[in-house]
Amino acid sequence: MEIKKSTLYIIPSFIGNNDSLEHISSYNLRIINEIRYFIVESEKKSRRFIKKILPEKNQDDLFFIQINKNKNYLDVENYLNPLKKGENMGLMSDSGNPVIADPGASVINSAHILKINVKPLVGPSSILLGLISSGMNGQKFTFTGYLPINIKERTKQLKYLEKKSIKYYETQIFIETPYRNNQLLALMKKVLSPNTQLSVASCLDSKEEKIISLPIRDWKKEKINLDKKPTVFLIGIK
Amino acid sequence: MEIKKSTLYIIPSFIGNNDSLEHISSYNLRIINEIRYFIVESEKKSRRFIKKILPEKNQDDLFFIQINKNKNYLDVENYLNPLKKGENMGLMSDSGNPVIADPGASVINSAHILKINVKPLVGPSSILLGLISSGMNGQKFTFTGYLPINIKERTKQLKYLEKKSIKYYETQIFIETPYRNNQLLALMKKVLSPNTQLSVASCLDSKEEKIISLPIRDWKKEKINLDKKPTVFLIGIK
């Protein structure tokens, strides 16, 4: 008899309101349906996601471990106990892919240390969708997460990213806490060069999806309200 | 009557041999089924992809424009003529997402200039899957494409990426022409620091998928043949 090695599946959830069954592959559905042990960012949101895509799955039968902020690897290794006993597990964050601008890397890392099979499933990533729809260079790009909050440091960082995008022909991708999006956009219009390309990808994979890519000079005429909308920002040259 | 604005869909194809209908969402299937005009890397591979997922779709009825190496934007704008006439179009590369380490950015860029709707569909990206399964930092990462071929320059570049990964806690992602993979791996084992983490993600989204993430010191004992296998390499710290 073949002994099946247990696997840690990395499970993407929806990023927008395109969240019907039409938007998930039946492979992902089948795998998620087979898993009882989950490591998640929040139990509530993961249960809601599973309920939506697999309403028949018995939720009483599921076990959830919430990733806490504790970076102690010994703890994280304990998360993986069901895998050591031969059970498959699923790693999930609240939105999109775990790890990318989301928790999960330390869990994957522990799995590698323990020689556990790691299997990423295919799903939506706002950073990837933002990049491919920007019209900017996809041969070379950097994701830097959040910008500094302090205006002086933020301006400095924006100018540094702009310079880097020209010098290395490298697309610069970053995000912002959604309630600060409008502020960030206003600042970019003010401090970036008129020739710099800025792409704004908002509410990706939603009915309200909006993707606008323009040189800063043309952004000055553009009216868009990004307040509280999840948005990816990209600057670069064409 | 509402006039529907025509849309340029960015369509991902399969990256490995997990290429059955089980691995594609019915939303993607429905959109691809409605499109007659495609801008593609190669007509032959795109026709084969469509045949596989939509065997009933009439192939005689489809129009393909192959993206050539000509960077003349006037030409690229001509690709988009069906969109100007109100038809939807699909942009496709031979493997995975267009734009990312693939052609397509200039087409998207022209669409933005012409104020045409751009809509990215969700699908597999080896770079994204490689990153989330590496156990390395997903809050900050850079994709740099191919390394220089010349050994001296390549060594210099590897050491530069290693230094950058430590200094900025930034994961470095790169790829290689598949028949040079073993050579690159051997060089990394030789020139990188024993503590540097190296993740190798090979044949992603295939039955032969292999993901190994280890410090260089432990890679020395590892035997793996990457020859001619599509592979993503990542270096960083844990």
Tell me the per-residue pLDDT of B12-32, one tens digit each, with 9 for 90 and over.
Answer: 999 999 999 999 999 999 999
* Segment A75-116, tens digit of pLDDT: 788 889 999 999 999 999 999 999 999 989 999 999 999 999
Q: With beta carbons under 8 A apart, name residues in chain B contacting A217.
A: none
**What is residue A135's predicted lDDT score, i.e. its pLDDT?**
96
Best residue in A41, A128, A170, A206 for a mutation probing chain B (most B CBs within 10 Å) = A128
DSSP classification of residue A21: G
Is A10 an interface residue toward B (CB < 8 Å)? Answer: yes
A126-236 under CATH 3.30.950.10, yes or no:
yes
* Segment A7-48, tens digit of pLDDT: 999 999 999 999 999 999 999 999 999 999 999 999 999 999
What class has domain A7-120? Answer: alpha beta
**What is residue A75's predicted lDDT score, i.e. its pLDDT?**
75
Nearest CA in chain B to A211: B118
Question: What are B45's two structure tokens?
Answer: 């591979």
Tell which residue, B201, B196, B178, has the closest CA to residue B130.
B201
A68 exposure class (CB count in 10 Å sphere: 0-12, 13-18, 19+)? exposed
Q: With beta carbons under 8 A apart, name residues in chain A contacting B212.
A: 112
User: Are B118 and B7 a contacting pair, CB within 8 Å?
Assistant: yes
How close, in Å, is residue A225 to chain B by CA atoms?
18
A36 exposure class (CB count in 10 Å sphere: 0-12, 13-18, 19+)? middle
Of A52-56, A179-183, B41-45, B72-76, the range with the lowest mean pLDDT is B72-76
pLDDT higher than threshold 90 for residue B76: no
For residues A63 and B228, what is the distance between their CA atoms, to the nearest angstrom?
41
Whether B122 sits inside 8 A of A119 (CB atoms) is no
* Segment B102-120, tens digit of pLDDT: 989 999 999 999 999 999 9
* Whole-number percent of chain A with pLDDT over 70: 96
Whether B119 sits inside 8 A of A101 (CB atoms) is no
**What is residue A76's predicted lDDT score, i.e. its pLDDT?**
81
Is A134 an interface residue toward B (CB < 8 Å)? Answer: yes
For residues A228 and B76, what is the distance between their CA atoms, to the nearest angstrom?
36
Question: What are B62's two structure tokens?
Answer: 């489809």
Mean pLDDT calculated for residue range A120-140: 97
Averaged pLDDT score across all residues of chain B: 94
pLDDT higher than threshold 80 for residue B238: no
Of A108, A128, A211, the CB nearest to B128: A128
Helix, strand, coil abundance in chain A, percent, nearest 5: 35, 20, 40
pLDDT band, residue A187 (cuts 50/70/90): very high
How close, in Å, is residue B85 to chain A by CA atoms?
21
**What is residue B2's predicted lDDT score, i.e. its pLDDT?**
46
Query: Whole-prediction pTM value?
Result: 0.95
* Segment B170-214, tens digit of pLDDT: 999 999 999 999 999 999 999 999 999 999 999 999 999 999 999
Mean pLDDT calculated for residue range A187-192: 98
Helices B26-34 and B43-53, packing angle to 10 deg: 120
**What is residue A77's predicted lDDT score, i.e. its pLDDT?**
81
Mean pLDDT calculated for residue range B155-168: 97
pLDDT higher than threshold 70 for residue B73: no
**What is residue B162's predicted lDDT score, i.e. its pLDDT?**
98
- Per domain, the residue ranges of chain B are 7-120, 126-236
pLDDT higher than threshold 80 for residue B84: yes
pLDDT higher than threshold 70 for residue A175: yes
Mark residue A203 as left, alpha or beta (left: phi above 0; alpha: psi -120 to 50; beta: remaining).
Answer: left
Averaged pLDDT score across all residues of chain A: 94
**What is residue B237's predicted lDDT score, i.e. its pLDDT?**
82
Query: Phi, psi (5° rounding) for residue A227?
Result: -55, 125
Q: How distant, in Å, are the alpha carbons of A100, A127, B168 from that of B141? A: 9, 11, 9
- Judge whether B7-120 and B126-236 match in fold: no
pLDDT higher than threshold 60 for residue A2: no
For residues A114 and A76, what is the distance between their CA atoms, to the nearest angstrom?
11
Is B31 an interface residue toward A (CB < 8 Å)? Answer: no
How close, in Å, is residue A141 to chain B by CA atoms?
5
